[in-house]
Structure formats: C-alpha cells, structure tokens
C-alpha cells in the first residue's frame, strides 16, 4: 500500500501531461497573438518590407516555441526536451488546422509547411532543454 502511494506521489510531482500541454500551447498562442499585434503595429508605423514581416513571423514562431517548451519543462521535470518537442509539434498542428480552416484547403508550399513544423518543434525542444 505504501509503495503504491509513493508511486502516485512521484507521478503527481511530475505534473499532469494533458494539463501541462494545454497550458503550454495556450500560453504559446497568447504570446503569438501579442507579438503578431506588435508586428502589425510595426508594419503600420514603419512600412516594413515583406521580407521583414516574414522574418518577424519566424521569430514569433521561435519565441513562442521556446516559451512553451520552458513551461513544459518546468511542469514535467523529466524528459524536458521531449515534452518541449511535444508542445512545439502540437502548436504547429493547431496552427496548420486553423490555417486549413481559414483558407478552405491546402494551398501552401510543402517546403514552407515542413520548415515551420521543424521550427516549432525544435524551438519547443530547445525551450524544454533550457528549462
């Protein structure tokens, strides 16, 4: 009986994965939204080039991924890089699904989609590692 209680306490100390992933991805989208608003303001005030906006969007993906990975690492405490990767991949999947719903189909270049997936996953993993 005591051994079972110790195992349950150890698991609870690691955190609830579903809750942690939800929290992490939610925070990632809040950060993304705020940074996109800031980028839109810069675009309006400074008349940024298309290339600068694309770079800004990539930076937003990376910042959001790192923040989500850090949150996952802090909550889960073990295998932080894998949990960070999971948060980054889930963030990408939600971005992709929203994009498909808004556009009404898959009209994106596969290379750009894969690059974005790698960026989101790698930045989430990096965040998990530094947590």
> What is the domain partition of the chain in residue ranges?
2-130
Stretches in the chain below the pLDDT threshold 70:
1-15
Alpha-carbon distance of 18 to 69, in angstroms, equals 14
Q: What is the pLDDT of residue 5?
A: 54
Q: What is the pLDDT of residue 77?
A: 86
The pTM of this model reads: 0.82
What's the token pair of residue 28?
């990632």
Q: What is the pLDDT of residue 107?
A: 76
Q: What is the pLDDT of residue 109?
A: 86
- Closest of 99, 131, 119, 96 to residue 15, by C-alpha: 131
């Amino acid at each position: 009986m005591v051994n079972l209680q110790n195992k349950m306490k150890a698991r609870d100390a690691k955190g609830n994965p579903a809750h942690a992933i939800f929290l992490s991805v939610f925070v990632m989208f809040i950060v993304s939204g705020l940074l996109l608003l800031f980028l839109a303001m810069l675009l309006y005030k400074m008349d940024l080039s298309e290339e600068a906006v694309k770079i800004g969007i990539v930076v937003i993906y990376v910042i959001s991924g790192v923040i989500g990975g850090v949150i996952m690492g802090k909550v889960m405490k073990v295998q932080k890089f894998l949990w960070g990767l999971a948060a980054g991949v889930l963030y990408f999947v939600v971005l992709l699904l929203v994009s498909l719903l808004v556009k009404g189909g898959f009209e994106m270049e596969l290379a750009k989609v894969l690059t974005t997936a790698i960026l989101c996953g790698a930045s989430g993993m990096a965040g998990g590692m530094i947590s």
